[in-house]
Amino acid sequence: MKFIDEFRDPRLARRLAAKIAQISTRPACLMEFCGGHTVAIMRNGIRQLLPSHIEMLSGPGCPVCVTANRDIDRVIALSQVPGVIITTFGDMLKVPGSYSSLQQARAAGGDIRIVYSIQDALQAARDNPNRPVIFLGVGFETTAPTVASAVLQAEKEKINNFYVLCHLKLTPPAMRALLDLGEIRLNGIICPGHVSTVIGTKPYETYASDYGVACVVAGFEPVDILQAVEMLVQQIEGGVARVDIAYTRGVRQEGNVRAQDLMNEVFDTADACWRGMGDIPESGLRLKNRYDQYDAALRFELELPPVKEHAGCRCGEILRGVIRPLDCGLFGKACTPENPVGPCMVSSEGSCAAYYQYGVNNG
């Protein structure tokens, strides 16, 4: 397939792996922030191609995984309000909240529909004018512009039964929080590909200049990732830290200005609660006051049961890169994709699911 096969070229991949082995002389700890990268790394067995002194950690870049129990409990409660239609991306369905999951809420009678795009949620609102249609807004900067444009569309068409339960999150504040925690010592970050398409590379500059961490934005094919690792090793070996782009076919320095404008038009930044990292200042998005009428959290004030965390679940530490999935006592035993205890095992882009699916030998 054109535009993909080039980035899966086995010869190019091997050449890059050989180059990394040749130039890398010292231990280095790298983190891929994004869940999409975690899956690509596991699926392609990339760690097997790297020298053993290069350590790869998986970061908190799976929007499903970092959604806090409290926020899942809220959407489950909303789904049981008579008349309400919940629309969500499929990944959220199986994530356990404190007491149940959306999948169980659906079996209990909730009208919960999987959509492939927020446009389908808008359509459900047009088709059911007498019922509140709530879109579960979970995602990063990749998803946020589409939510913004749907809100503007609803306003334009005067669709008054459309709501967003906004749990959108921002990547750079979480990266900073991770570095500030000081639990892990990173030499380099593989910066997210699609998020960077929207926000550009400027937000990462502080990690290079203030924290001395090398940053490279990567695509999602094996050659993309190996190239990013090679560029990170170049920086680390040369004793420099800056922000480079390996994913030039997808990312420009300034990002997608139009998408950024849309986000700025509709959202304010707000504190957000991340699973495993707690409340991080200014790390989430909320609808601006003038769009209050679309805010599901304001429209439906519900009493929620107390939040309950799952005993033994170490998703928090896994999301912070402090431990690997294999270090969790529940992994593969009490916690499997069939019976997930924590969200990292549920989401297709969760680190635990990736480790489980593609084999612990790759870890």
Partner 1 sequence: MGDKILLAHGSGSRLSHDLISKVLAPSIMNPVLARMDDSAVLDLSGRLAFTTDSYVIDPIFFPGGDIGRLAVCGTVNDLSMSGARPRYMSLALIIEEGLDIDDLRRIMESVKDTAAEAGVQIVTGDTKVVERGKADKLFINTAGIGLIEGGTDISGSNARPGDKIILSGGIGEHGMAVMSQREGLHLSLPVVSDCAPLNHLVSAMLSVSKNIHSLRDPTRGGLSSILNEFAKQSDVGIIIEDEKIPVHDGVRGACELLGLDPLYIANEGKLVAAVAEADCSKVLSAMRKNKYGQQAAVIGEVTTEHRGRVVMKTRIGSSRIVDMPVGEILPRIC
Six-digit token pair at 296? 């599901």
**CB-based contact 232:214 (threshold 8 Å):** yes
Nearer to partner 1 among residue 40 and residue 214 (C-beta) = 40
How near is the Cβ of 331 to partner 1 at its closest, in Å?
Answer: 14
**Interaction between residue 357 and partner 1 (CB under 8 A):** yes
**Interaction between residue 244 and partner 1 (CB under 8 A):** no
According to CB under 8 A, which one of 75, 77, 92, 233 is a site residue for partner 1?
A: 92
**CB-based contact 69:309 (threshold 8 Å):** yes
DSSP 280: E
The residue type at 35: G
Q: What's the alpha-carbon Rg for the chain, to the nearest Å?
A: 21
193-212 binders of partner 1 (CB under 8 A): 194
Nearer to partner 1 among residue 240 and residue 360 (C-beta) = 360
d(C-alpha 255, C-alpha 237), whole Å = 28
Closest CA to 38 of 18, 19, 65, 11: 65
Closest CA to 194 of 138, 238, 157, 140: 140
**Interaction between residue 145 and partner 1 (CB under 8 A):** no
CA dihedral 217, 221, 227, 230 (to 10 degrees): 90
Site mask, partner 1, residues 48-77, x = CB under 8 A?
A: xx-------------xx-------------
CA–CA distances in Å: residue 322 to residues 14, 145, 171, 328: 30, 32, 18, 11
3-state secondary structure of 166: strand
Q: Which stretch binds partner 1 (CB under 8 A): 157-165, 171-179, 227-235, 349-357?
A: 349-357
d(C-alpha 58, C-alpha 53), whole Å = 16
* Alpha carbon 358 to its chain's center: 19
Nearer to partner 1 among residue 18 and residue 181 (C-beta) = 18
Site mask, partner 1, residues 303-332, x = CB under 8 A?
A: ------------------------------
**Interaction between residue 356 and partner 1 (CB under 8 A):** yes
**Interaction between residue 46 and partner 1 (CB under 8 A):** yes
Q: Which stretch binds partner 1 (CB under 8 A): 86-94, 197-205, 251-259, 310-318?
A: 86-94
d(C-alpha 190, C-alpha 229), whole Å = 8
Nearer to partner 1 among residue 46 and residue 272 (C-beta) = 46
**Interaction between residue 349 and partner 1 (CB under 8 A):** yes
Q: Which stretch binds partner 1 (CB under 8 A): 113-121, 171-179, 290-298, 308-316?
A: 113-121
**CB-based contact 120:87 (threshold 8 Å):** yes
CA dihedral 104, 107, 111, 114 (to 10 degrees): 60
How near is the Cβ of 123 to partner 1 at its closest, in Å?
Answer: 8
Nearer to partner 1 among residue 63 and residue 342 (C-beta) = 63
Q: Which stretch binds partner 1 (CB under 8 A): 108-116, 126-134, 164-172, 326-334?
A: 108-116
According to CB under 8 A, which one of 116, 156, 289, 301 is a site residue for partner 1?
A: 116
Which residues of the shown chain bind partner 1 in the complex (CB under 8 A)?
1, 4, 8, 10, 13-14, 17, 36, 42-46, 48-49, 63-64, 89-94, 114-116, 120, 138-140, 142-143, 194, 222, 336-338, 347-349, 356-362
